[in-house]
């Protein structure tokens, strides 16, 4: 083009002239320019035709040109892959003329599928990697998981001498032999059927069923502990099957083009009312609406639960035995409200426990659980509302978790107060931690208000609905892991298994809340060490106190009970050999060094626990 412009410039003359010679010169120059342009175009066309006929002209001498009939092959490990003709990389001829050049593929999901159904580490039809049926606008996926959870535990807890008889002759002490051991095996299978592409948006529909098969075996050294009937002996084996999940999930609407959404879920489902499980952490039948907004910065729940009784020895939901307790939850989470990386939650939880209208209730070991076998043992109903404010996340490099609850309401008749009581109680928990390379240093504090006068008609001891907290050591802690009998209160426990609250309940599974209780003060220091990517060590030291001792003194008829429960020391390891959750090996041990308050209640024996836990997951 540069040469064309130069030739045109040389041939240009003054347009305004009318001299015949100049007009002839203009005509000649124009013809020369046109001949020059057409010559260049012909040369370019010839060069292009030459390139098409000789495609290897621009390749170096060592390049090998494949004949058009030769095909390319893509390689996939452990899979016979189809051969694709090379023409599909250049241009697609009319389909009518080249049908043999196309490879039929059912859909894009199976185009490069190279997995096996038994291999969880690669694409897998059982892990919802490819659809099992459906049309392109409504594909259905199957998600299957299986967990084997094996536990062996040895412990010593304070227990009474057998009520009617004892295994140990000449035993005349109030306290018996508290050494025990237990074996528990859980098999959990979860099967889900999901419609929709969940990579970028919530599912359109989801149906899930999670049955649990439990076997448990326990041996103790006193009669009357494993069953109310002392002639049963000191060994018990039991099994149970129940459902931890059985629900249908329906996507209702998208709220934005970023897939903010509203969904509904109806049936038995797992739910935790706060970050750490202080109030209501259980699997119950419910109708629940949930979703998010503003690019997922806001999440919300609106739910109504109708609780089930749980099996005494396994903790699994019974086959639809009504607990006569309804729970209503409304909460909202907001990310980055106070700082980037910190989430704030506000919640309101209302509970109506009308089990007092249903009469007496005994557990599967024939112990009375409703009403509580303490005080005047009268029936009661509970109406209470919890107001919660919580935070979880980090400020800079400091990790933090905060939880506050205030509860009010009423108990129609409290067995300890011997009257109707008004509920006014609160709790507060705070955990701070700081990471230094592969070490995390933690400190925690918790306060649950206690009742300073059990007979004044004001119930100021905080109690939860069904707590299962992960706090201050979690299930490594002796105080939290073990159900410690009160001794002198029938089958009533001072604190229940997987709980921090000393509330005088005969188990969380079937027993009712009690807001006339001593409350708790907890001070904790912890150290988590990532020894290896596969190995983690968790250690905790916790000092425990009653917030108020008036209730304990009233029940024991002893005005000298000290508030110091003792020091809980625990250590545990978590080993994941493949750096995932497919195989987990947990082990832990803890001791509760008695303070003066524990000595007043149970003597000066040091109580302990040790456990090993093997979890296999597919």
* 460 vs 256, higher pLDDT: 460
Segment 223-243 mean pLDDT: 92
Q: How confident is the model at residue 107 (pLDDT cuts 50, 70, 90)?
A: low
Tokens standing for 269? Answer: 């489902």
- Taking phi over 0 as left and psi of -120 to 50 as alpha, with beta for the rest, 550 belongs to alpha
Supply the pLDDT for residue 43.
47
Average pLDDT score over the chain: 85
Q: What is the pLDDT of residues 53-98, one digit of tens each?
A: 444 444 444 444 444 444 444 555 555 655 544 444 444 455 555 5
Segment 205-216 mean pLDDT: 97
Supply the pLDDT for residue 83.
54
Q: What is the pLDDT of residues 148-184, one digit of tens each?
A: 999 999 999 998 876 555 666 666 667 888 999 999 9
Supply the pLDDT for residue 336.
96
Supply the pLDDT for residue 69.
45
Segment 522-528 mean pLDDT: 98
* 346 vs 175, higher pLDDT: 346
In the 3-class helix/strand/coil scheme, how is 402-437 assigned residue by residue? EEEEEEEEEEEEECCCCEEEEEEEEEEEEEEEEEEC
Supply the pLDDT for residue 80.
60
Least confident range from 93-97, 125-129, 458-462: namely 93-97
Q: What is the rounded CA–CA span in Å between residue 297 and residue 334?
A: 6
Q: What is the rounded CA–CA span in Å between residue 343 and residue 365?
A: 43
Q: What is the rounded CA–CA span in Å between residue 327 and residue 351?
A: 5
Torsion of the alpha carbons at 256, 257, 258 and 263, rounded to the nearest 10? 50
Q: What is the rounded CA–CA span in Å between residue 543 and residue 564?
A: 8
SS3 category, 263? strand
Q: Of 415, 582, 606, which Cα lies nearest the Cα of 505? A: 415
Please tell me the pTM assigned to this model. Answer: 0.82
Element containing residue 213 per DSSP (H, E): strand 205-219
Q: What is the rounded CA–CA span in Å between residue 137 and residue 351?
A: 42
The answer to whether the peptide bond before residue 371 is cis (omega within 30 degrees of 0) is: yes
Supply the pLDDT for residue 499.
97
DSSP 103: -
Predicted confidence (pLDDT) at residue 144 exceeds the cutoff of 70: yes
Torsion of the alpha carbons at 299, 302, 307 and 308, rounded to the nearest 10? -60
Q: To which residue do tokens 């000595």 refer?
A: 599
Q: Using CB atoms within 10 Å of the CB of residue 556, give its burial: 0 to 12 exposed, 13 to 18 middle, 19+ buried.
A: middle
Least confident range from 159-173, 493-507, 549-563: namely 159-173
Ranked by mean pLDDT, the top range of 42-51, 70-79, 435-444 is: 435-444
Query: Do the bridges between strand 83-85 and strand 382-395 make them parallel or antiparallel, or are there none, so unpaired?
Result: unpaired
Q: To which residue do tokens 């978590």 refer?
A: 574
SS3 category, 604? coil
Predicted confidence (pLDDT) at residue 618 exceeds the cutoff of 60: yes
* 216 vs 487, higher pLDDT: 216
Q: Would you tell me which CATH number, out of the four given (1.20.120.80, 2.40.160.100, 3.40.50.10860, 3.30.70.100), belongs to the domain 137-617?
A: 2.40.160.100
Supply the pLDDT for residue 81.
55
Q: Of 395, 314, 303, which Cα lies nearest the Cα of 350? A: 303
* 314 vs 160, higher pLDDT: 314
Q: What is the pLDDT of residues 237-271, one digit of tens each?
A: 999 999 999 999 999 999 998 889 999 999 999 99
Q: How confident is the model at residue 324 (pLDDT cuts 50, 70, 90)?
A: very high
Q: What is the rounded CA–CA span in Å between residue 106 and residue 110?
A: 7
Predicted confidence (pLDDT) at residue 9 exceeds the cutoff of 60: no
Is residue 542 within 8 Å of 480, Cβ to Cβ?
no
Predicted confidence (pLDDT) at residue 494 exceeds the cutoff of 70: yes
* 47 vs 481, higher pLDDT: 481
* 593 vs 36, higher pLDDT: 593
Torsion of the alpha carbons at 442, 448, 449 and 454, rounded to the nearest 10? -140
* 544 vs 32, higher pLDDT: 544
How many percent of the chain have pLDDT more than 70? 79
Taking the alpha carbons at both ends of the chain, their separation in whole angstroms is: 69
Strand partners, 349: 329, 386
Q: How confident is the model at residue 452 (pLDDT cuts 50, 70, 90)?
A: very high
Q: How confident is the model at residue 301 (pLDDT cuts 50, 70, 90)?
A: very high
How many percent of the chain have pLDDT more than 90? 69
Predicted confidence (pLDDT) at residue 34 exceeds the cutoff of 70: no
Q: How confident is the model at residue 488 (pLDDT cuts 50, 70, 90)?
A: low
Q: What is the rounded CA–CA span in Å between residue 310 and residue 325?
A: 13
């Amino acid at each position: 083009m540069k040469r064309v412009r130069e030739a045109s410039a040389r041939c240009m003359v003054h347009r305004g002239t009318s001299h015949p010679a100049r007009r002839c010169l203009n005509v000649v120059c124009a013809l020369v320019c046109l001949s020059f342009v057409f010559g260049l175009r012909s040369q370019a066309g010839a060069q292009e035709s030459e390139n098409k006929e000789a495609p290897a002209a621009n390749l170096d001498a060592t390049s090998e040109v494949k004949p058009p009939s030769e095909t390319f092959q893509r390689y996939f490990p452990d899979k016979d892959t189809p051969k694709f003709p090379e023409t599909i990389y250049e241009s697609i001829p009319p389909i009518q003329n080249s049908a043999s050049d196309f490879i039929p593929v059912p859909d894009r999901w199976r185009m490069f599928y190279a997995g096996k159904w038994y291999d969880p580490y690669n694409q897998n039809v059982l892990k919802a990697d490819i659809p099992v049926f459906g049309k392109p606008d409504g594909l259905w996926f199957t998600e299957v998981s299986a967990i084997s959870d094996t536990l062996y535990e040895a412990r010593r807890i304070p227990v009474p001498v057998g009520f009617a008889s004892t295994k140990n002759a000449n035993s005349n002490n109030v306290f018996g032999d508290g050494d025990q051991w237990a074996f528990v095996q859980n098999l959990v299978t979860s099967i889900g059927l999901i419609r929709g592409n969940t990579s970028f948006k919530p599912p359109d529909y989801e149906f899930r069923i999670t049955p649990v098969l439990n076997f448990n075996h326990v041996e103790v050294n006193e009669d009357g502990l494993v069953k109310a009937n002392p002639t049963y002996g000191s060994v018990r084996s039991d099994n149970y099957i129940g459902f931890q999940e059985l629900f249908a999930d329906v996507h209702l609407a998208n709220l934005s083009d970023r897939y903010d959404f509203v969904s509904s879920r109806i049936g038995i489902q797992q739910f935790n009312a706060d970050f750490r499980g202080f109030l209501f952490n259980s699997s119950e039948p419910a109708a629940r609406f949930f979703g998010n907004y503003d690019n997922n910065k806001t999440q919300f729940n609106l739910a109504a639960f109708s609780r089930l009784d749980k099996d005494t020895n396994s903790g699994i939901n019974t086959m639809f035995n009504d607990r006569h307790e309804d729970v209503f939850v409304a909460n909202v989470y907001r990310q980055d409200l106070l700082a980037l990386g910190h989430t704030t939650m506000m919640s309101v939880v209302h509970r109506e426990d009308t089990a007092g209208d249903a009469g007496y209730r005994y557990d599967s070991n024939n112990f009375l659980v409703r009403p509580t076998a303490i005080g005047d043992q009268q029936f009661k109903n509970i109406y209470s509302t919890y107001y919660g404010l919580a935070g979880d996340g980090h400020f800079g490099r400091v990790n933090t978790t905060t939880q506050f609850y205030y509860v009010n309401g009423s108990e129609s008749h409290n067995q300890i107060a011997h009257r109707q009581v008004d509920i006014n109680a609160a709790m507060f928990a705070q955990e701070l931690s700081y990471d230094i390379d592969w070490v995390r240093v933690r400190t925690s504090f918790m306060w649950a208000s206690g009742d300073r006068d059990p007979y004044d008609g004001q119930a100021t001891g905080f109690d939860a609905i069904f707590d299962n907290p992960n706090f201050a050591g979690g299930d490594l802690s002796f105080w939290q892991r073990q159900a410690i009998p009160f001794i002198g209160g029938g089958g009533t426990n001072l604190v229940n298994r997987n709980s921090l609250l000393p509330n005088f309940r005969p188990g969380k599974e079937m027993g009712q809340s009690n807001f006339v209780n001593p409350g708790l003060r907890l001070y904790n220091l912890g150290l988590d060490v990532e020894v290896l990517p596969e190995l983690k060590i968790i250690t905790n030291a916790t000092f425990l106190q009653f917030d108020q001792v008036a209730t304990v003194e009233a029940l024991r008829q002893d005005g000298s009970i000290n508030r110091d429960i003792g020091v809980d020391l625990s250590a545990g390891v978590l080993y994941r050999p493949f750096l995932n959750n497919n195989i987990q090996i947990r082990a832990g041990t803890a001791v509760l060094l008695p303070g003066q308050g524990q000595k007043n209640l149970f003597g000066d024996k040091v109580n302990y626990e040790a456990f090993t836990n093997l979890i296999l997951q597919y």
